[in-house]
Chain A
């Protein structure tokens, strides 16, 4: 389970970076990205994913469908 950032919608505001409890978010060459190997969707830390909570764009951070 992990989340990913929709590249075409991300505006690179960086708000998600500091709120990630697992430090899975980094600034990529184009937009910010989430490391799917370490992303826990905040399970165990918070009720809802913190990056989704702070992201100003709707449907910009979505669950990866395996």
Chain B
């Protein structure tokens, strides 16, 4: 239930793909990105996207060349396919060009033991592409679980949100809420009212974002809040004692 999504399988499937007989194999990161970008586009599988990208920049496909593809070039290369919404294309491009090397935490799970990070909070991000908080609570493919303190953040788990085959589940939203019940905060692109109520029942604070943001940005924002004067509900879930909260209050009220 908590295995790390299907990245690994995706990687093997893609890195084994030979491109137009003239490229050996794709780098691991590039293969991942192409697979994820294809998933973000309607009616597009990784193989098709590979041929489209090759039409754009020629072989061999490199990360540098792919990062230079802009919206117009991608649109031209996709011409002939049914019209795809521009926001979706932009989203796919951002997945393709994201510099994963600068955000290793997005991909490598880090170990965490209880008590490792005092004054930290555990948050779940509903995501489809693994880079952005772009998931609806009830339909996202995965929850990325981070432990975040003012000073550091660790990706401690990636949880597949799909119901395992063969498992009978009456309430999908309840299943999903249970999946992240060790988290105190949840970031989602959207959530329905009754699902939100179930999330709150587990003591998880749902945060719906007004637009799609990267997980890296969200964590940076949360760290700023933690380092400053966290609101009382956040201080409470972080385990800051009421006496210390009172100190915060006095500072805030002057």
Contact = CB atoms under 8 A, between A and B. Distances in A.
B242 A8 contact: yes
Nearest to A57: B200
A56 B252 CA distance: 25
Most buried by A among B197, B231, B236, B252: B231
Contacts of B99: none
Given A29-B253, A30-B253, A57-B200, A9 B233 contact: yes
Contacts of B235: 8
B211 to A, nearest CB: 19
Interface string B216-254: 000000000000000111011000001001000100110
B89 to A, nearest CB: 35
A45 interface: no
Contacts of B242: 8
A57 B60 CA distance: 55
Interface in A28-63: 29-31, 56-58
Given A8-B242, A8-B245, A30 B200 contact: no
Given A56-B200, A57-B200, A12 B253 contact: no
Contacts of B231: 11-12, 30-31
Contacts of B196: 56
Contact of A7 (B197, B200, B205, B232): B232
Given A7-B232, A58-B200, 19 more contacts: A8-B232, A8-B233, A8-B235, A8-B236, A9-B232, A9-B233, A9-B236, A10-B233, A11-B205, A11-B231, A11-B233, A29-B252, A30-B231, A30-B232, A30-B249, A31-B231, A31-B232, A56-B197, A57-B200
Interface of B: 196-197, 200, 205, 231-233, 235-236, 242, 245, 249, 252-253
15 contacts: A7-B249, A8-B232, A8-B236, A8-B245, A9-B232, A9-B233, A10-B232, A11-B205, A11-B231, A12-B231, A29-B249, A29-B253, A30-B249, A31-B231, A58-B200
Interface of A: 7-12, 29-31, 56-58
In the A-B complex, the 7 residue pairs with the smallest Cβ-Cβ separation, listed nearest first, are A29-B253, A8-B236, A8-B232, A7-B232, A11-B233, A29-B252, A30-B249
